[in-house]
Amino acid sequence: MIKKILLSACLLISFVSFAQQGTASPYSFYGIGDVRFKGTLENRSMAGVSVEQDSIHINVDNPASYASLIQTTFTVGGTYGTSKIKTETEKASATRSTFDYLLLGIPMGKFGAGFGLIPVSSVGYKIRNDNTATPGATSSQYEGEGGLNKVFLALAYKIKPNWNIGADMQYNFGKIETTSIEAITGVESATREINTSILSGFNFNIGTMYQTKIYKKTELFTSLSYTFGSNLTSDSERTTQVDGDTTPIVENPPNSILELPNKLTIGAGVGEARKWLVGTTVAFQGNGEFENYHNTSEDVHYEKYAKYAIGGYYLPNYTSFTSYFSRITYRAGFKYEKIGLVVNNESIKDVGFSVGAGFPITGSFSSVNFGIEYGKKGTVSANLVQENYINFSLSFSFNDKWFVKSKFN
């Protein structure tokens, strides 16, 4: 079944990932945009907690996880989001539908492999400063779109039945385009500036996962991963045109180097496999250098990223033949993030709560997963913007056996 779905899904989603505008956040103006990918839906429904060596779901947060898969697993997910954006004096709303990921995990004995396509960040904002009622005043409009994507290849190995190690290589690529228009009241012409940046670069990630029994059926699960710092090359072009001019001015500023900082993620939890889990995850990331020539500001700088999350799941009875509801996996979690951006000396934070459920497809290990995330990012103080968002996410996880020799001719 996976083989029939995979090709058409890859072709469709590879197009959609470039065409979509995945955010409506004013904070996506800065750096590489609003970081979107927070794990697969199963993990996001637990606020990003991903410490168990899951045998039928992909955990892309730690490459060591692929060694635990027992069947080839293909998963694809998307989100419909709504947000209420407000300042101290104004309010606005926005909606968006986005593709979140396309992933494939393949078990190979003690080894496991994975690869996929993930939109990492998105730029999507429209900001307008209207002073047309004041003679001689300047009115401006700013728009941005695009973002950063990645494809990756991971390999994992099971050292012992309860201990995995793994690594992955990621190629990051994307395009960010920003447009600014300025006009003076009483002057007929306006100036338009379009900035285009083509981003590209590699980075690497390593990880390990370990679990051990601590009491009867209760086990301790641990996860550790480290992403190495890397660089993104930004190949840029600027086009400036004044209304009435027939020939725009095209410039090619020197290439910029954006520094992606290293990141350490540590997780631990207790539970009974395929029954229940309570866990926590903390992540720390160094200061990045995300400023490009078109999005610098004296009121903005970058700080260390930090995330704290707690979450878990409950599965009443995955072997039940009489009750379908007993085979549903129920998930929930809470997160607190400092996203690494400081505006007007105010550290921008993202606080959210999530719930979800995994609905098994009868007769297989496959499932349909649904999740809801509610959160708040930013603040109305310091002349900033606060976003209250609700995300509705849906994913399909298909499991099948590949590379099995036929017993009959």
The predicted-structure confidence for 188-233, as pLDDT tens digits, reads as follows 778 888 889 999 999 999 999 999 999 989 999 999 999 999 999 9
Distance (Å, rounded) from C-alpha 314 to C-alpha 367? 15
Residue 193's pLDDT is what?
87
**Is the pLDDT higher at 100 or at 20?**
100
pTM: 0.88
Distance (Å, rounded) from C-alpha 147 to C-alpha 129? 24
Domain spans of the chain, in order of start: 2-400
Query: Residue 14's pLDDT band (boundaries 50, 70, 90)?
Result: very low
Q: Which residues pair with 193 in a beta bridge?
A: 180, 240
Distance (Å, rounded) from C-alpha 103 to C-alpha 66? 11
Residue 402's pLDDT is what?
67
In the chain, the percentage of residues whose pLDDT exceeds 90 is: 56
- Coil vs helix vs strand at 70: coil
The mean pLDDT of 104-116, rounded to a whole number, is 95
The predicted-structure confidence for 340-390, as pLDDT tens digits, reads as follows 989 888 999 999 999 999 999 988 899 999 999 999 999 988 888 899 999
- Coil vs helix vs strand at 68: helix
**Predicted confidence (pLDDT) at residue 2 exceeds the cutoff of 50:** no
Distance (Å, rounded) from C-alpha 360 to C-alpha 369? 8
- CATH 2.40.160.60 for domain 2-400, yes or no, is yes
> b or e along 108-131 (b: 16 or more beta carbons within 10 Å of the residue's beta carbon)?
beeebbbbbbbbbbbbbbeeeeee
Q: What are residue 18's phi and psi, to 5 degrees?
A: -85, -30
The predicted-structure confidence for 257-310, as pLDDT tens digits, reads as follows 888 899 999 999 999 989 999 999 999 998 877 766 556 667 788 899 999 999
